[in-house]
Amino acid sequence: MCVTAILEAVSSLSITPSGPLEGSVPALGAKNAVLKEMAACLLASGTHHLTNVPATSDVATMSELLTHLGCDVSWAGVHALDIEVPAADQLVPHAPSHLFAAMRASLVVLGPLLARCGEATMALPGGDDFGGRPINFHIDGLTAMGGFFNNDPEIIRGSLPTGRLVGARITLEYPSHTATDNLLMAAVLADGRTVIDNAAREPEVEDLCQHLIAMGARIEGLGTSRLTIDGVSALDPTTHHVVTDRVVAATYLGAGLVTGGRVHVPDARGDHMEMLLRKFRHMGATIDLSNGIELSGPSRAAAVDVATLPYPGVATDYKPLITAILATADGVSVVTENLFDGRFRYVDELLKMGALISTEGHHAVIRGIIQLTGAEVYATDIRAGAALTLAALRADGPTVVHGLDHMDRGYEDFDGCLRSLGATVERRA
């Protein structure tokens, strides 16, 4: 099977409310881990094997990017990828701009390419549109390690005059997930010790560390805000099982919560979702952690206040899902976005469905109503699309969510998984 075949997209999702959802559905591997771990394979020649890989369009895009860089990427059974990486002098440290423009995570090939090839040229990365996410954390950190950049408004051009990155002390102004990943991957092949302070602490970062350690990297401080990396001269390919996607798990659990149903995600990690599960309990959900996560929802959720924060706080990716659930909760809720500008853009679509939400700056005040109204709405990013789908499950008639290509970036067979839970969902071209 050709990996890039997944890139075929349809345009919309039709949802007709069908009562409480019940059943079991897996979350599979995390989008925010697998894309970085695919890039990490660039650090060592040979055949790498990744398991628990979701068949999403972002995985297909990263596969195509790696192919243009000189790798051979192929499915090796269900949810498994083989990535064959050539010698450093056979890697091609540049690729077509449309592949970088397709997703933000493409930026993480920068560190590995500098470390292996001593140079990299790439277009500015794209991805979801929810406000500015500067790349200066990446560039400043790599510069501290000896990289030289000659950029223009559209192209990043990096080189390594000394021939090898050198260890450095780096303090991130903000615990950026993607910047931590990029600098971490560069540091494992640097000459000497690198310390990354104020590093991101997400489970996906820790999973990347585990992957790199299995390849022969020397990393300390996993799961903390200080990562210490002692560079090695070479790494080896390995087999790695990608950590479960906690946002996908939250989506399906949220579908159970908003419909008053019972949903089981057997591979979900409760220890990675503690703050979100606390909020779900405050909304009235009963949660069983004995085998993955099983959530039983109330007939109507209770209002809660939520603020996004870096891990282990409530993730910004959870917020659209929470907002959609609270739109039909009993009472008034306040949701605060502390991480990104522009991440309330989906609220206008919820308003089309009759939601009573007012926004000002980083805050949204949500006055819950018993039931939303079916409407034609548009997804602006992955999680917004998922949130509108959750809202549609609690509407009084059919809803069409346009922009299904967004959801296909982060969810494997999104509509099929919802149907397995009893939802009435149909893809439309």
Catalytically annotated residues: 128
Q: Where are the beta strands (DSSP E) in 198-278?
A: 218-220, 226-230, 239-241, 262-265
Q: At what angle do helices 57-68 and 31-40 cross, to 10 degrees?
A: 10
Give the integer Cα–Cα distance in Å for 374 and 418.
18
Give the integer Cα–Cα distance in Å for 47 and 57.
22
Nearest to 142 by CA among 186, 96, 189, 93: 186
Tally Cβ neighbours within 10 Å of residue 34: 28
C-alpha 425: how far from chain center:
24
Residue 264's SS3 state is: strand
- Residue at token pair 């009759």: 354
Contacts of 358 (CB under 8 A, 6+ apart): 364, 365
Question: Strand pairing partners for 24?
Answer: 264
Give the integer Cα–Cα distance in Å for 38 and 31.
11
Two tokens, residue 358: 């007012």
Q: Which helix (H) or strand (E) holds 111?
A: helix 110-117
- On whether the CB atoms of residues 316 and 276 are closer than 8 A, the answer is no
Contacts of 334 (CB under 8 A, 6+ apart): 305, 306, 363, 364, 365, 366
Residue 270 sits at φ, ψ, to 5 deg, of -60, -35
Alpha helices, DSSP H, located in 369-413: 382-392, 404-410
Question: Strand pairing partners for 75?
Answer: 81
Nearest to 323 by CA among 339, 340, 341, 308: 308
Give the integer Cα–Cα distance in Å for 200 and 316.
14
Sign for the CA dihedral angle at 402, 406, 409, 412 comes to: negative
- Residue at token pair 């007012």: 358
Question: Strand pairing partners for 395?
Answer: 372
